[in-house]
């Protein structure tokens, strides 16, 4: 058994530092490395985060732990934020939540005809979006999103209203496929 114990000199020779060795060997670090920080969080999961190992970074009495998110990203999170549930992902959870909220609000405001983004957005009424077949859409002077359109044989056809230019551009593509399938030109 004796030869399985790591020797400091060997560890330093092979890994440069004790921490590197612990990291490479996927071992919990020795107590002294996180003395005063109570429990070892290695292997625990908090939301989407799985704790891999403690870092050397601290904030007051708080240690940063290196975590892997279920989305694949890795990030350092303060112990308190993990334990108290403040941080539950690398940030991807917040992004998803933001998009969900945005969509809900967008749908809601679209129904009630309330302005979605902000005043400045409304002022850009006369600006073009820079994307062909995509224009800001207003109802009674209120910005509701972007509308996909196409001009085919001197007539305008619409492909729906969307909260982002990207989505509207996709809708415009569909219109192109529909109307320009056989003949091109126009618009």
Nearest to 30 by CA among 18, 45, 15: 18
Residue closer to Zn ion by CB (options 65, 106) is: 65
Q: What 3-state class would DSSP assign to 95?
A: helix
Q: Which residues contact 83 (CB under 8 A, 6 or more apart)?
A: 41, 46
Report CA-CA distances (Å) from 158 to 74, 112, 115, 155: 44, 21, 21, 10
Q: Using the rule CB under 5 A, give the single segment among 5-13, 35-43, 92-100, 150-158 that binds Zn ion.
A: 92-100
Question: Which residue is associated with the tokens 């007539």?
Answer: 155
Q: Is 52 in the site for Zn ion (CB under 5 A)?
A: no
Q: Could you tell me the smallest distance in angstroms from the CB atom of residue 43 to Zn ion?
A: 18
Residue closer to Zn ion by CB (options 33, 73) is: 73
Q: Could you tell me the smallest distance in angstroms from the CB atom of residue 88 to Zn ion?
A: 10
What is the DSSP secondary structure assignment for residue 40, as one 8-state letter? -
Residue closer to Zn ion by CB (options 11, 90) is: 90
Q: Is 168 in the site for Zn ion (CB under 5 A)?
A: no
Number of residues that bind Zn ion (CB under 5 A): 6
Cα angle for residues 49, 50, 56 (degrees, 5° grid): 100
Q: Are 149 and 157 in contact (CB under 8 A)?
A: yes
Q: Which of 92, 116, 117, 170 binds Zn ion (CB under 5 A)?
A: 92
Q: Could you tell me the smallest distance in angstroms from the CB atom of residue 76 to Zn ion?
A: 13
Q: Is 69 in the site for Zn ion (CB under 5 A)?
A: yes
Residues forming contacts to Zn ion in the complex (CB under 5 A) are 69, 71, 73, 89-90, 92
């Amino acid at each position: 058994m004796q030869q399985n114990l790591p020797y400091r000199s060997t560890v330093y020779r092979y890994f440069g530092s004790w921490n590197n060795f612990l990291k490479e060997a996927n071992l919990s670090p020795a107590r002294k490395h996180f003395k005063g920080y109570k429990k070892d969080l290695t292997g625990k999961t908090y939301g989407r985060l799985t704790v891999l190992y403690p870092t050397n970074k601290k904030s007051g009495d708080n240690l940063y732990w290196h975590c892997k998110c279920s989305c694949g990203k890795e990030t350092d999170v303060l112990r308190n934020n993990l334990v108290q549930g403040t941080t539950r992902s690398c940030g991807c959870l917040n992004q998803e939540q933001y998009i969900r909220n945005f969509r809900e609000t967008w749908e809601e405001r679209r129904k009630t005809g309330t302005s979605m983004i902000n005043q400045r957005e409304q002022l850009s009424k006369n600006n073009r979006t820079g994307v062909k077949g995509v224009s800001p859409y207003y109802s009674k002077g209120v910005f509701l999103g972007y509308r996909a359109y196409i001009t085919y044989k001197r007539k305008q056809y619409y492909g729906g209203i969307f909260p982002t230019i990207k989505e509207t551009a996709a809708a415009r593509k569909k219109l192109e496929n529909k109307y320009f399938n056989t003949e091109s030109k126009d618009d």
